[in-house]
Structure 1
Amino acid sequence: MRRQAAIAVLTFTLATGGAQAGDDALEAGKAEFMAHCASCHGEDAKGDGPHAVVLAKKPADLTEITARYGSFPAERVFETI
């Protein structure tokens, strides 16, 4: 499950960060994100999903990862998940 979530986040973030990918890959990444991540991170990945309110630590706003680090830290994201 954690591996699927990591793959979903990486696919989603790369896809929304301007990386070129086929429509099938984008849809697959979105489906994985929606199934495994959106309940906490929110459908728009801003950390405001419906389950976020019950967590001790607020989920990260995934839309700010690249801005925060200057580039997309794929390895760091994978290790965090």
Structure 2
Amino acid sequence: MCIKRRDADQPQQHQLLSQISELIFVDGTSTDQTVTIAQKYGKVIQTRKNRAVQMNAGASIARGDILLFLHAIRSWIHKL
């Protein structure tokens, strides 16, 4: 899940996070509080800024059968 300075979305994000069994956050050199926030909820991996590298890094350590990649696009969270 990408959290990109979206304070208004935090209540929905917290609700979603409580329903997930494994969370892996892959950070591509963010400069805000993303890593600090993400560390409260799951494993954080830091990589260089490259979406393919980030997705592969997260997938390589995931244990589940289903992978869901979420990016910092706001529209999906309001549909929950």
TM-score, normalised via structure 1 length: 0.34
The structure with the largest helix share of the pair is 1
RCO (CA 8 Å, sep 6+): is it higher in 1 or 2? Answer: 2
